[in-house]
Amino acid sequence: MCEWTSETVAARFSEAVETARRLPPVRVQGYFSTWPAFIREGWERYSIEGRGYRPIAPCPEAIDRMLETMRWMQILDVESRHIVWMRASHYEWSQIAKRFGCAARTVQRRRNIALSIIAEKLNGMSVVSASYKAVRNHADN
């Protein structure tokens, strides 16, 4: 990609969350199954969805993109990381706002700032700060 925008960065985070969800669970070494992985039909999935059903593991390219996207998190402060990841995981704005003890609109602004910081960093622009608090303080001055 040549030009990164906040929307493309948000889409990449959504893909990373979906890829992480599709990864196989961690198991104790020594126990394994010799059954091959296979794709179930839609009607076959209804009976097993409530019992921890996980879809087929993602392709290696998707895992590489997920790892690259997770490295972008190091640009942000801890609170912004949680906001971006929770929204990519399809949490509602009200749930995220409760977690951080602020209004939903404030959480939306913090997420937009975080995504624009990542997009600017990926585009090679100089980033003023990787923290929404510093951005807010910079705007007040």
Contacts of 45 (CB under 8 A, 6+ apart): 53
pLDDT beyond 70 at 122: yes
126 CA to centre of own chain = 24
pLDDT > 70: percent of the chain: 74
**What residue spans define the domains of the chain?**
6-23+46-140
pLDDT beyond 70 at 4: yes
pLDDT for res 16: 96
CA angle 59, 20, 57 (to 5 degrees): 35
pLDDT band at 28 (very low <50, low <70, confident <90, very high): confident
| The pTM of the whole model exceeds 0.75 | no
pLDDT band at 106 (very low <50, low <70, confident <90, very high): very high
DSSP letters for 72-125:
HGGGS-HHHHHHHHHHHTT--HHHHHHHHTS-HHHHHHHHHHHHHHHHHHHTTP
| 43 token code pair | 């009607």
